[in-house]
Amino acid sequence: MNILAISGSLRAASANTSLLRATAELAPSNVVITIYEDLDDLPHFSPERDRDNTSEPVTKLRSLLQEADAVIICTPEYIHGMPGVLKNMLDWLASSGEFVNKPVSVISASPSDMGGSRAHASLCYTLSVLMAKLPEQASLIVPFVRAKVDADGHVTDPQLIRQLKNVVIALVNAAKED
């Protein structure tokens, strides 16, 4: 099973990207999780650009999503919403349909006690408009993330490790149902 993991953060030391790396390490042996690292290469979306001459980064992203059995998106919260670069990516996918009936796990992580819950809700709403399949058990909100990930990006919280394992299992099960 192939899962594409997307971090909504561009920061090199992002806790959200660290959570995706940990999830990839925790995945069962029959599951390959590939982390998409080209979010920053996507051009600004405009409907005029989404025609016959779509840029190479957009074409590559669409291909990766088409090949994936499922997707994990982990997002920080910026001004009570998802980051602009993540929304830009989703805008590029609105007309091409890569998320239609695709099982998608949504994880949000924040240093606050809310865990990025508003970004989580915003991302889930947008994905539902794109007709993604959002298994409830594959959803996770991580509050106080800085206390759960060390300076080297390793998840140190045993409960969070269990939760990430459960997210992968729920996502895999949802993908098998298709």
Segment 23-46 shows an average pLDDT of 95
CA atoms of 157 and 63, how far apart (whole Å): 35
The reported pLDDT for the residue numbered 102 is 98
Q: Which two tokens stand for residue 156?
A: 């140190």
Helices (H), 27-157: 56-67, 84-93, 117-129
User: Helices (H) and strands (E) in the chain — how many of each?
Assistant: 5, 5
For 69-98, the pLDDT digits (tens) are 999 999 999 999 999 999 999 999 999 999
Pairing of strands 104-109, 32-36: unpaired
The reported pLDDT for the residue numbered 32 is 97
Q: Element (H or E) spanning 35, and its range?
A: strand 32-36
> What radius of gyration, in Å, describes the C-alpha atoms of the chain?
15
Report helix, strand or coil for 145: helix
The reported pLDDT for the residue numbered 49 is 83
pLDDT above 90 for 176? yes
pTM over 0.75: yes
The domain locations on the chain are 2-177
For 88-140, the pLDDT digits (tens) are 999 999 999 999 999 999 999 999 999 999 999 999 999 999 999 999 999 99
Q: Which two tokens stand for residue 81?
A: 């919403």
Superfamily of the domain at 2-177: Flavodoxin domain (3.40.50.360)
For 37-79, the pLDDT digits (tens) are 999 999 999 888 887 668 999 999 999 999 999 999 999 999 9
